[in-house]
């Protein structure tokens, strides 16, 4: 066995996916986006199963991870299209919050370099009201940050898919030699 086999690379990719999915989950919880929270939760479970399959030489778990990567790729393309307003989708819709809340991306108000200023109002001087706050001069617009998150997930998922196919073929070769 070499130092960096396909199996070790798949394990590394699964660990990276877990870290980036946990980070994404935190920011989705902060913005009350329930659809991404649910999908991220299933993604974390499937990546853990894929990791377990790669460590324990269980091809069924790796195949399940492989199939999930196809769905995960589709989800990230959908979210990217949503934030870029492609294909009739709009970032201003409440699709990601499932219509339960009126919250948007956490990055919209808290992005890097964003300065928020409260608008003056007579009766609400002492209270923080989100409708009376404007965000000015962000370094990077929130939709680009969200698309960047999706791009990282797409890259890791594509690499994970390729290595899962490779590892699955190795496992089947090892099973054939084992049973002969």
Q: Does residue 63 lie within any of the structural domains?
A: yes
Q: What is the pLDDT of residue 3?
A: 54
* Among 21, 34, 57, 49, residue whose Cα is nearest residue 156: 21
Q: Does residue 156 lie within any of the structural domains?
A: yes
**Residue 70, class by beta-carbon neighbours within 10 Å (0-12 exposed, 13-18 middle, 19+ buried)?**
exposed
Q: Does residue 135 lie within any of the structural domains?
A: no
Q: What is the pLDDT of residue 36?
A: 87
Q: What is the pLDDT of residue 116?
A: 61
Q: Does residue 115 lie within any of the structural domains?
A: no
Q: Give tens-digit pLDDT for 2-29.
A: 556 888 999 999 999 999 999 999 988 8
Q: What is the pLDDT of residue 180?
A: 47
Residue numbers of the domain that contains 158: 6-99+141-179
Spell out, as residue ranges, where the chain has pLDDT lower than 70. Answer: 1-4, 94, 97, 99-103, 107, 111, 114, 116-137, 172-180
Q: What is the pLDDT of residue 117?
A: 57
Q: Residue 21: helix, strand or coil by DSSP?
A: helix
Q: What is the pLDDT of residue 28?
A: 84
Q: Which two tokens stand for residue 25?
A: 């989950």
- Taking all residues of the chain, what is their mean pLDDT, rounded to a whole number? 80
Q: Does residue 128 lie within any of the structural domains?
A: no
Q: Does residue 94 lie within any of the structural domains?
A: yes
Give me the number of domains the chain comprises: 1
Q: Does residue 136 lie within any of the structural domains?
A: no
Q: What is the DSSP string of 87-145?
A: TT--TTSSTTTTTT-----THHHH-TT-EEEEPP-STTSSS--GGGEEEE--SS-HHHH
Q: Which letter, b or e, does each residue of 151-165 get, where b requires 16 or more Cβ atoms within 10 Å of its Cβ?
A: ebbbebbebbbbbbb
Q: Are 119 and 136 in contact (CB under 8 A)?
A: no
Q: Are 40 and 80 in contact (CB under 8 A)?
A: no
């Amino acid at each position: 066995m070499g130092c960096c086999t396909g199996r070790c690379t798949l394990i590394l990719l699964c660990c990276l996916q877990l870290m980036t999915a946990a980070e994404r989950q935190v920011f989705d919880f902060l913005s009350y986006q329930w659809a991404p929270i649910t999908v991220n939760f299933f993604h974390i479970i499937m990546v853990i199963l894929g990791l377990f399959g790669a460590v324990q030489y269980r091809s069924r778990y790796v195949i399940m991870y492989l199939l999930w990567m196809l769905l995960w790729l589709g989800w990230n393309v959908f979210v990217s299209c949503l934030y870029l307003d492609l294909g009739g989708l709009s970032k201003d819709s409440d699709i990601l919050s499932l219509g339960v809340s009126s919250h948007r991306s956490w990055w919209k108000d808290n992005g890097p370099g964003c300065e928020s200023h409260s608008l003056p109002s007579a009766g609400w001087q002492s209270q923080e009201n989100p409708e009376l706050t404007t965000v000015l001069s962000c370094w990077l617009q929130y939709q680009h940050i969200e698309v960047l998150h999706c791009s990282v997930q797409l890259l890791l998922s594509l690499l994970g898919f390729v290595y899962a196919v490779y590892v699955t073929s190795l496992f089947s070769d090892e099973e054939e030699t084992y049973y002969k």
